[in-house]
Amino acid sequence: MTAPAAAAAWSAAAEAADRVGVKVVELSSIAELDECSALLQRVWRAGHPAEIASPSILRTYAHSGNYVAGAYRAGVLAGAAVGFFGRDERGPHLHSHLAGVERGGLGQGVGRALKLHQRAWTLARDVGEVHWTYDPLIGRNAYFNLQKLGAEAAEYLPGFYGRMTDGINSGDLTDRILVVWRLADPRVAALAGGAPNDDVDASAAAPLVSRDGDEPVVHEPGPAEAETETEAVRPPALTVAVPADIEALRGRDPAAALRWRHAVRDALMGRLSAGYRIAGVCRDDRYLLSEGAR
């Protein structure tokens, strides 16, 4: 990456942090990492720090040159992000393993400030991509990742983490979507610089999964027919809804939450394997699928 690209990224990160009244810094001391671990434990409602990230593992990440950062508001830690370097067929990337904001700070720009700091930090190390996974049923995260940050949905990963016991994931299947954030992409740079989110137009798309209260409704043609549809009936665009609040639904109706998991898994995996891609997320928490490459 060029020095000007990194400099511009640092400027965008500083502006985003200033706008919401936070200071984002790297964490390295034992006291800072204890505080970071405790925050992540609260965010994930875990019974023990080691379920998410113990202070000792955070110390290891920070000491070995990986990414551990916190966002402070009025001297109080409001959010944190943790990542480590990886490599795939495209080359090196930062894998953003954890990013969380205190429940009272959601929707206040703390998460964006953290991610833009992470972007600048990664570009400054001559690495051009950040990867991470998120639960496809959490609509606010999908919208944040794909529309606000400009990351791309690369792969659907069923049961990625196996069984988890924290308060958010316990009792559910840990399906995830892998996203790739191409840090120097013009759209990513524009969004980082404050360009408005580009809304997704799904007005011409056919529904594949929709909502009826707490229940998913699967429409035809379903994923089983994806490889047998003729060109005449193959819709060029489809939508897949997710629950309004999957975390609350898990608590009051685990069986309905599991029905959503399977409906969305079948719809997305079936269509992705048939040549569709996730083109974006609507503001009402529906994925838009379209044919062909971006």
Domain boundaries, the chain: 3-128+183-192, 206-291
Average pLDDT score over the chain: 92
165: pLDDT strictly greater than 70 = yes
- CA angle in degrees (0–180, nearest 5) for 160-162-164: 115
For residues 50-64, one letter each, b for 16 or more C-beta atoms within 10 angstroms of the residue's C-beta and e for the rest, the string is ebbbbbebbbebbee
Specify the pLDDT at position 2.
67
For residues 67-105, one letter each, b for 16 or more C-beta atoms within 10 angstroms of the residue's C-beta and e for the rest, the string is bbbbbbbeeebbbbbbbebeeeeeeebbbbbbbbbbeeb
Region 265-288: mean pLDDT is 96
pTM of the model: 0.92
Specify the pLDDT at position 224.
42
Local structure of 194: helix, strand or coil: coil
Q: Which residue has the tokens 């593992």?
A: 57
Specify the pLDDT at position 205.
96
Specify the pLDDT at position 293.
61
Residue 37, Cα to own-chain centre: how many angstroms? 20
| Spatial CA neighbour of 130 closest among 138, 143, 141, 121 | 121
Percent of the chain, pLDDT > 70?
Answer: 94
CA distance 140 to 138: 6
Max CA distance (Å), the chain: 63
CA distance 255 to 225: 26
Name the least confident of 89-93, 173-177, 222-226, 288-292: 222-226
Q: Which CATH class is domain 3-128+183-192?
A: alpha beta
Condensed to tens digits (0 to 9), the pLDDT of residues 203-252 reads 999 999 999 999 999 997 544 444 555 444 688 999 999 999 999 999 99
Measuring CA to CA, how many Å separate 99 from each of 44, 51, 121, 265, 283?
10, 15, 15, 24, 22
